[in-house]
């Protein structure tokens, strides 16, 4: 396959693992909105499948799905070319199967890749955990963690760091894990986090996520801890907004776009919580969770959102964080604080 130099420059995420471990399913569910049940009919991948998702997603990476059994000793396997320019290598282990063989393969793969490019982030997805009880999940993770690191220590590769995630395509865990993998590859992450912290503290918001709309990966959030329930709620909101927009928002001839500059939604839940979604860029949306009483200061939130959106555009356009020289140090965005009577000060 001919690659343009632009796409060759993008950092790659490699998905590797034994046959039937779930690689293609992960890719289809996260990036192509395939429903988990449909993956039962996926055929086995026989050659490297390169999926460039940058035209639909903020995630400017290529995802390479490798066929189950790559033969590293095959001369046609050019490990220099493949591992150089790789940002993250995700190794998928089927937790419902006997994983001894997978562990051997994991060791072979990461040690080979590390020798070519020690800067790769090595991520291990302990996958298909939907079939396991909670205790069994913890035990499996502990066992895989221990054995994989023992193998590395025996080979003198203590510096090679593996990160582990429990994942399944049948819940949000796969999106959450992919979010973490992608976040590590975003150089602007600390800036985004700071901007989100400033935005929520000035606007009385409890939690805010910056989402890649098409994949529902969150590329950043404020620095308060993420609880799965909040994340799931925000993912569900994106689904609702996009689905309603697809059904009722497009032109009769099918023209238009389900997600554009005008996209925004407010959902009030029956427990005094409000969900607030607004377009930030072509691919990104801000999704916030806040209390009903904070939402009384809607004007303030909208003003602060406007400043936040502008700053995000600057971060990505210029590629550098807003400079202190241009923004006062204690309030780099020019945000306004909400007073208790609802007016901005």
Ligand X SMILES: Nc1nc2c(ncn2[C@@H]2O[C@H](COP(=O)(O)OP(=O)(O)OP(=O)(O)O)[C@@H](O)[C@H]2O)c(=O)[nH]1
CB 75, min distance to ligand X, A: 22
CB 120, min distance to ligand X, A: 20
Dihedral of alpha carbons 138, 89, 13, 308, sign: positive
CB 132, min distance to ligand X, A: 10
Interface residue list for ligand X (CB under 6 A)? 17, 19-25, 39-40, 42, 44-45, 67-68, 127-128, 130-131, 168-170
What is the helix, strand, coil percentage profile of the chain, to 5? 40, 20, 40
d(CA 70, CA 15): 12
The residues, ordered by sequence, that sit 6+ positions from 224 with a Cβ below 8 Å of its Cβ are 206, 207
CB 219, min distance to ligand X, A: 23
CB 181, min distance to ligand X, A: 16
Backbone angles phi, psi at 290, to 5 degrees: -145, 165
The residues, ordered by sequence, that sit 6+ positions from 277 with a Cβ below 8 Å of its Cβ are 237, 238, 241, 263, 264, 265, 266, 285, 286, 287, 288
Nearer to ligand X, 125 or 218 (CB): 125
Nearer to ligand X, 23 or 297 (CB): 23
Nearer to ligand X, 58 or 66 (CB): 66
Judged by DSSP in three states, 296 sits in coil
d(CA 35, CA 339): 45
CB 49, min distance to ligand X, A: 9
Cβ atoms of 29 and 39 within 8 Å: the answer is: yes
H or E element, residue 94: strand 86-94
CB 109, min distance to ligand X, A: 13
Nearer to ligand X, 235 or 237 (CB): 235
Nearer to ligand X, 215 or 263 (CB): 215
Nearer to ligand X, 40 or 345 (CB): 40
Nearer to ligand X, 42 or 162 (CB): 42
Nearer to ligand X, 25 or 194 (CB): 25
Cβ atoms of 63 and 15 within 8 Å: the answer is: yes
- DSSP labels, 154-220: HTT-TT--EEEEE--TTSTHHHHHHHHHHHTT-TTHHHHHHHHHHHHHHHT-SEEEEEETTTTEEEE
CB 1, min distance to ligand X, A: 18
Alpha-carbon separation of residue 20 from 50, 162, 328 (angstroms): 18, 22, 54
d(CA 92, CA 126): 6
């Amino acid at each position: 396959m001919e690659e343009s130099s632009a796409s060759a420059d993008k950092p790659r995420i490699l998905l590797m693992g034994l046959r039937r471990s779930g690689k293609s399913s992960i890719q289809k569910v996260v990036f192509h909105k395939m429903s988990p049940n449909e993956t039962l009919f996926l055929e086995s991948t026989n050659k490297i499948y390169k999926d460039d998702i940058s035209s639909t997603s903020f995630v400017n990476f290529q995802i390479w799905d490798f066929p189950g059994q790559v033969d590293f000793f095959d001369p046609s396997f050019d490990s220099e070319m493949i591992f150089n320019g790789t940002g993250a290598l995700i190794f998928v282990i089927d937790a419902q199967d006997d994983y001894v063989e997978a562990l051997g393969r994991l060791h072979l793969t990461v040690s080979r890749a590390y020798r070519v490019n020690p800067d790769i982030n090595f991520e291990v997805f302990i996958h298909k955990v939907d079939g396991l009880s909670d205790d069994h999940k913890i035990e499996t993770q502990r066992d895989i963690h221990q054995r994989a690191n023992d193998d590395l220590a025996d080979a003198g590769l203590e510096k090679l760091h593996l990160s582990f995630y429990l994942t399944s395509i049948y819940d949000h865990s796969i999106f959450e894990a992919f979010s973490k993998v992608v976040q590590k590859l975003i150089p602007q992450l600390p800036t985004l986090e700071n901007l989100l912290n400033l935005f929520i503290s000035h606007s009385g918001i409890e939690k805010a996520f910056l989402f890649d709309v098409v994949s529902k990966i969150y590329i950043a959030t404020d620095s308060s801890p993420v609880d799965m329930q909040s994340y799931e709620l925000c993912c569900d909101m994106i689904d609702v907004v996009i689905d309603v927009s697809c059904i009722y928002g497009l032109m009769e001839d099918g023209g238009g776009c389900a997600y554009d500059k005008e996209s925004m939604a407010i959902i009030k839940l029956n427990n005094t919580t409000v969900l607030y979604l607004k377009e930030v860029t072509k691919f990104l949306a801000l999704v916030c969770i806040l209390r009903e009483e904070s939402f009384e200061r809607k004007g303030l939130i909208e003003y602060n959102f406007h400043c936040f959106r502008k700053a995000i555009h600057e971060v990505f356009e210029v590629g550098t964080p807003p400079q202190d020289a241009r923004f006062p140090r204690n309030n780099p965005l020019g945000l306004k604080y909400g007073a208790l009577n609802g007016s901005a000060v």
